């Protein structure tokens, strides 16, 4: 699931193209006198400012990807209990309002080099799944089995159809090279890879993602 440099750069070029075209278009109108009224000029400047804000955000995201990608495969010295991680994930995704099912029955932990990063990464994939699920009921299912915790997130029908593990039949890597999400999915892929978290979705349908967290001793 880890993106290549070419994929990162291609996604950046795709995401930056629209706000750049918007900015240039409005500035051209202003310079050529195509917006004679003060109201139209103010509206054009507001839209240009918004477009430049998108470009600024993309630049910031590119910086965070660079810092994460350059760390290679770090040692994960930190520990967070699996139960505490679940609580943090529930809080982070409260705005998406999924219906949570299941619990973590293990007293073991998840290795991390920054709980905040892994939570943000999971939330980014969840937002993608919920968007793809459209108006379907949103669910998140948690299951503990042996050495790992599995989290299935998305629209309820898609979650039901999702393979229960990354090696299951019809399970494929999550497509993080996508338009409309900025660089957030690419950044999430790097973070999850560094945390040894495996992510997948169904080979023939979107709307749900699965994540497998390896457990370690606290």
Sign of CA dihedral 70, 76, 78, 79: positive
pLDDT-flagged residues of the chain (< 70):
1, 70-74
Output the pLDDT for position 70. Answer: 67
Q: What is the pLDDT of residue 74?
A: 62
**Domain boundaries of the chain, sorted by first residue:** 5-69, 78-214
pLDDT number for residue 71: 61
Is the pTM higher than 0.85?
Answer: no
Query: Each residue of 125-172: pLDDT tens digit?
Result: 999 999 999 999 999 999 998 899 999 999 999 999 999 899 999 999
pLDDT for 20: 93
Read off the DSSP letter of residue 78: E
Mean pLDDT of the chain: 90
- Angle separating helix axes 5-31 and 38-69, nearest 10 degrees: 160
The listed CATH number (1.10.287, 2.40.128, 2.30.30, 1.20.1070) that belongs to domain 5-69: 1.10.287
CA–CA separation, 130 vs 96, rounded Å? Answer: 8
Out of 3.40.50.720, 3.30.565.10, 3.30.365.10, 3.30.420.40, which CATH number does the structure's domain 78-214 have? Answer: 3.30.565.10
- Give residues with Cβ within 8 angstroms of 68, minimum separation 6: 117, 187, 190, 191, 194
């Amino acid at each position: 699931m880890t993106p290549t440099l070419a994929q990162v750069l291609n996604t950046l070029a795709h995401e930056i193209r629209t706000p750049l075209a918007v900015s240039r278009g409005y500035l051209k109108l202003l310079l050529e006198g195509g917006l004679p009224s003060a109201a139209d000029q103010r509206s054009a400047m507001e839209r240009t400012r918004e477009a430049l804000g998108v470009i600024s955000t993309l630049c910031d995201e590119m910086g965070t990807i660079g810092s994460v990608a350059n760390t290679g495969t770090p040692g994960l010295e930190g520990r967070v209990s699996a139960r505490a991680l679940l609580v943090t994930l529930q809080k982070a995704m409260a705005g998406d309002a999924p219906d949570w099912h299941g619990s973590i029955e293990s007293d073991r932990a998840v290795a991390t080099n920054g709980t905040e990063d892994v939570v943000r990464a999971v939330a980014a994939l969840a937002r993608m799944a919920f968007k793809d699920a459209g108006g379907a009921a949103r669910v998140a299912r948690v299951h503990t089995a042996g050495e790992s915790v599995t989290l299935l997130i998305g629209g309820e029908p898609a979650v039901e159809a999702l393979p229960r593990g990354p090696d299951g039949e019809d399970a494929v890597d999550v497509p993080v090279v996508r338009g409309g999400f900025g660089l957030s999915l690419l950044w999430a892929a790097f973070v999850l890879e560094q945390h040894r978290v495996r992510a997948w979705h169904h080979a023939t349908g979107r709307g749900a993602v699965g994540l497998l967290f390896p457990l370690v001793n606290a």
